[in-house]
Amino acid sequence: MEELEQILSEHGVKATANRLLVLKALAESQRPLTMAELEDKIDSIDKSGIFRTLMLFKESHLLHQIDDGCEGVRYELCHAHGDVDDDRHVHFHCEVCHRTFCLEELSIPQVTYPDGFKVESVNYMAKGICPECARKGHTHHTHHHHQ
């Protein structure tokens, strides 16, 4: 738990029991979690309490929100420290097993935005088939529309 408290204090967040529980659930997970998955893991805090904690973490750059466009939003801890959310890594969403992978080793080229655009967050989401599903011979399930 001390490690978790340290993560909170590095981000200027006061450690409370609830915050530690939410942080622990996210830290133990090998993948980004949805709100529903977090609720399952943490039965001692109600939904609004979990949500408030997530929003606080988000403001403190402690976690980021991934919107994979189908199951809604998932949350994962940022592995980067410091004020800049510089862990802009690629997320890959498998359309067969619906897992979301963080491809942290891929570096993303710096994109320069035109004057006047203030970028708050960047989310790189690639979609397709993960190696495991590809090995099982899944091809993309495209729906054929008959005219």
**Helix residue ranges per DSSP H, 93-146:** 131-135
Two tokens, residue 5? 């408290």
Long-range contacts of 19-22 (CB under 8 A, 24+ apart): 19/53, 19/56, 19/57, 21/45, 22/50, 22/53, 22/54, 22/57
Model pTM above 0.85 = no
Per CATH, the architecture of 2-135 is what? Orthogonal Bundle (1.10)
Q: What single letter denotes the amino acid at residue 10?
A: E
pLDDT digits (tens, 9 = 90+) for 112-133: 889 998 877 666 778 889 898 9
pLDDT digits (tens, 9 = 90+) for 9-65: 888 889 999 999 999 998 888 788 889 999 999 989 999 999 999 998 888 878 878
